[in-house]
Structure 1
Amino acid sequence: MSGRIAPRNPAEVLVWRTQVWTWPLYFIGALYVAGPVLGWTLGGLAALSLYLGPAIRRDLRATGPVPPLVWIWIAGMSVLLVALWVGHLQWGLGTGATIKSTIGWAKGWALIPLFVLAGAVLPIRREILVRGQCVVGLWTCCLTPILFMAPILHLPEKIFTSPLKAIGGPGPEYFSVYFFTYDPSNWTPRWQFYAPWSPFAALLGVIMVVFALEERNRRWLVAGVMGGVIMILLSKSRMGLVGLVACTVVPRAMPLVAQVWAWQAMAAVSASLAVLGTALLQGLQDGVAAFKGARADSTRVRETLQRIAGERWRAEAFWFGHGTVQPGGHVVEHMPIGSHHSWWGLLFVKGLVGFLGLAVPMVLTVLNALAEAARGPAGRLPLGVMMTLVLLSFGENLEIEAYMLWPGLMAVGVNLREQARRQVPVARATVQTA
């Protein structure tokens, strides 16, 4: 395809190669290793660039000071670490468990501010991230026929588990390579691509589409969108279908907020709800019921996990949580209490303190992205990414998935850098006028 984009500095080389080699890294079970290594490498490089200033090579110099939102993310994730230590201390989990959980924090929550910092400070272009996701989409399109034929040809679900699992991680599925898996509710095949499970693959597909829609080259745009849509459809995830619509339409509709005619239309719609509201509400309720009923067993397990986590958080560990997830019983199919939901999981594991540690930077970043998207096209990508992360947080655990979300996190940082650059001329003009 035409329109070749090449990295211009060592930071872009790291980002570009890690993205375009996503599938090969998956084939050797190395994605869970590559994400944290890349995050800490880029974070360290950003810190070094800030510290050395003009003494560092020109193509790695910091593009400006650290934006305030990045400091808020750093503070928020640090609060999660403190909550983790206090929770372990209160429940007497021991030094070994505390060290293990701290390493888990370094491979999970810590990656969020590291990647946002790298995007905000290092000279990494938005185009590198966008094109990289489109390349992954092309890989996906080319490999899908093989994956799709696997159950028809009666090939095994799992190909192998990488020896890299000896490094340690949440489970062997993070180091395993699959053709497909069977949905236990109806025993039909569903695909997880390069993710550890199918619903997560769907949200990665949403992020791919959000990135691809920013691509200027038509062929690469089609490759990225097709790859993302394939991941959403074949993963058979309800959340992925919601994200495909919401996370692509809402960012492009935000400029309407500033249009008078849009507010007039909204007022007309609001007035009509007085007549049609009851019927629409009933239709919405029926739709939600059908949505949940599409995979009733999964919905039941998730709702039970959330209820148990909430009850035990309020009764046993309100401020700093239980320190770690705990085994669940047969009623939740032995899923750990504190999993499958970032917010209830945080309340159960890290208490109200941990909950606020994520909620504050998340809300502020979403509000900033909403304002950016209302002002112009530059805000569409960060808003789409943040909407996907919010959606993901209500069905998955962001901590153990941050290693795959890094392109979106870097895009948020890149936008904060671009936003700061746009504000500098405005500030100078204000000073001169004064």
Structure 2
Amino acid sequence: MVYKAMTLTWPFYAVGALYVVGPVLAWILGGLAVLSLYLGPAIRQDLRATGPVPPLVWMWTAAMCVMLVALWVGHLDWGLGLKQTIKSSIGWAKGWALLVLFPLAGAVLPIRRSVLIRGQCVVGAWTLALAPLLLVAPYIGLPERIFTSPLKAVGGPGPEYFSVFLYTFDPASWTPRWQFYAPWSPFAALLGVLMVLFALEETDRKWMFAGIGAGVLMILASKSRMGLVGLVACTIAPRMMPLILRGWAWHMTAALTASMAVLGTALVTLAQDAVSTFKGARADSTRVRETLQRIASERWQNEALWFGHGTVHPGSHAVEYMPIGSHHTWYGLLFVKGLVGFAALLVPMLWHTSLAMIDAARHPRGRLPLGILMTIILLSFGENLEIEAYMLWPGLVLLGIHLREMNTDVLPAVGDGQNANVDTEEFQYECSSRSE
């Protein structure tokens, strides 16, 4: 089920069904996980729970339940009515709840890493096959939007989640940008980062190159600054974590720290110039985002400190009519769900990231989960996680699989160069990791 849902990403996108498939898959897998825990040995062998629910999954469950309570209290405080409360609760079930359901499925159900890794590479192959049509479309007169699916009747954040695009035009420079199967270009870039991270774990070279090539193409064609940062940071940092356990790395760090007395001022100036150039690359986008964040922060502090406003509010012309509480997960949480909602995401996120960092320093199995978490954190500073979790689900399932591996202390298997539906050989870790 997981493998087919991944490999059919482009066909689902072609009919505008991705926003429906994600939540439906989450609740089916979550239900299967609960059922397997309840029935134990009475259930079919290939669906039996692989172990108890990890403590971190329980933490995510409690945190997302707190998120739902904060939503209800915010609606009650602002008198938004029963109809809006029910609508927002359904939105929670299609958004925040996915941050629990997919890791739960990965931690409990016998889903293999190799299936997710190969599935992402297959999506990459689809992307490369369709790339010529997408890239040439704006230059041969093809329309930007092909159609909007009637599935939009189920409800969602906007029609772009059910629309099929060949490309879009950047309103600032009026040049084409590509969003592939994402609702907009910056999100496509981060999905490209995730694809690269998965592909780097594939052992079959053909599939690995397909995944890496497609991921890099998505990052470059989307023209997203955040994607370029993620491509470098989220791939390199997890692979450098084992250096924490190396004595020579600490000596080198100490030497570099001492050299800051001489080079510090020049490096600070260089960094400030780089940040200014980064922001100036898309000055209008930066201005809108900073204005949205400032308005959200001020209104949160002055109007709804603890439980927020319950929902996003329409924006003015100053922010190009973007909703207040959008384009930033953390400011959005403060505005919509207050300090309670903010803490409900921050606490499990910090715990999970710390756990992945420790494991990445000890075992290669922690590299991919840490890269995924870094990508999600990076995404949270430019987008709203809850309305994009439906596309992040392979990474969320992998996070659950990693928690299961840590609980059972079993080193994972990755692709064996054959079909992802068949058994894989045990992955051979580096001798250094085994000795550690």
Quickly name the TM-score band, shorter chain normalised. Answer: over 0.9
> Of 12, 17, 28, which aligns to 2:4?
17
Q: Which residue in 2 is equivalent to 1:350?
A: 337
Residues 377-421 of structure 1 deviation map (CA, whole Å, 9 limit, x = unaligned): 000010000000000000000000000000000000000000001
Q: Which residue in 2 is equivalent to 1:411?
A: 398
> Of 184, 192, 199, which aligns to 1:212?
199
Provide structure 1 residue ranges, at least 5 long, that are not aligned to the other structure: 1-13, 425-434
Residue 57 of structure 1 and its aligned partner are, at CA, apart by 0.5
Q: Structure 1 counterpart of 2:323, which letter? A: P
CA distance in 2, matches of 1:92, 1:132: 45
Q: Which residue in 2 is equivalent to 1:401?
A: 388
Q: Which residue in 1 is equivalent to 2:364?
A: 377
Q: How does 1:169-208 map to 2 (within 5 A)?
A: 169-208=156-195
**1:328 and 2:315 aligned:** yes
CA distance in 1, matches of 2:235, 2:314: 37
> Of 189, 208, 213, which aligns to 1:226?
213
Q: How does 1:25-424 map to 2 (within 5 A)?
A: 25-422=12-409
SS in 2 for 1:177: strand
Residue 24 of structure 1 and its aligned partner are, at CA, apart by 0.4
Q: Structure 1 counterpart of 2:281, which letter? A: A
SS in 2 for 1:150: helix
CA distance in 2, matches of 1:251, 1:422: 20
Residue 422 of structure 1 and its aligned partner are, at CA, apart by 1.0
The aligned length equals 411
TM-score (norm 2): 0.94
Residues 36-88 of structure 1 deviation map (CA, whole Å, 9 limit, x = unaligned): 00000000000000000000011100000000000000011111000000000
Q: Structure 2 counterpart of 1:222, which letter? A: F
RMSD of aligned C-alpha atoms? 0.8
CA distance in 1, matches of 2:195, 2:33: 25
CA distance in 1, matches of 2:294, 2:399: 33
Q: Structure 2 counterpart of 1:398, which letter? A: L
CA distance in 2, matches of 1:245, 1:141: 21
Q: Structure 2 counterpart of 1:348, which letter? A: F
Q: Structure 2 counterpart of 1:80, which letter? A: M
CA distance in 1, matches of 2:143, 2:133: 13
CA distance in 2, matches of 1:306, 1:229: 30
CA distance in 1, matches of 2:186, 2:310: 26
CA distance in 1, matches of 2:233, 2:398: 19
CA distance in 2, matches of 1:35, 1:412: 16
Q: Which residue in 2 is equivalent to 1:431?
A: none
Residue 331 of structure 1 and its aligned partner are, at CA, apart by 0.5
- Percent of aligned positions that are identical: 71
SS in 1 for 2:147: strand
CA distance in 1, matches of 2:65, 2:392: 19
CA distance in 2, matches of 1:169, 1:307: 26
SS in 1 for 2:122: helix
Residue 167 of structure 1 and its aligned partner are, at CA, apart by 1.1
Q: Structure 2 counterpart of 1:249, which letter? A: I
CA distance in 1, matches of 2:178, 2:363: 36
SS in 1 for 2:138: coil
Q: Structure 1 counterpart of 2:248, which letter? A: W
Residue 376 of structure 1 and its aligned partner are, at CA, apart by 1.3
Provide structure 2 residue ranges, at least 5 long, that are not aligned to the other structure: 412-436
Residues 66-112 of structure 1 deviation map (CA, whole Å, 9 limit, x = unaligned): 00000000011111000000000000000000000000000000011
SS in 1 for 2:146: strand
CA distance in 2, matches of 1:260, 1:68: 32
CA distance in 1, matches of 2:107, 2:153: 34
Residues 1-41 of structure 1 deviation map (CA, whole Å, 9 limit, x = unaligned): xxxxxxxxxxxxx1000000000000000000000000000
Q: Which residue in 1 is equivalent to 2:425?
A: none
CA distance in 1, matches of 2:152, 2:158: 8
SS in 2 for 1:338: coil
Residue 423 of structure 1 and its aligned partner are, at CA, apart by 8.2
SS in 2 for 1:160: strand
Q: Structure 1 counterpart of 2:283, which letter? A: A
Q: Structure 2 counterpart of 1:332, which letter? A: V
Q: Which residue in 2 is equivalent to 1:10?
A: none
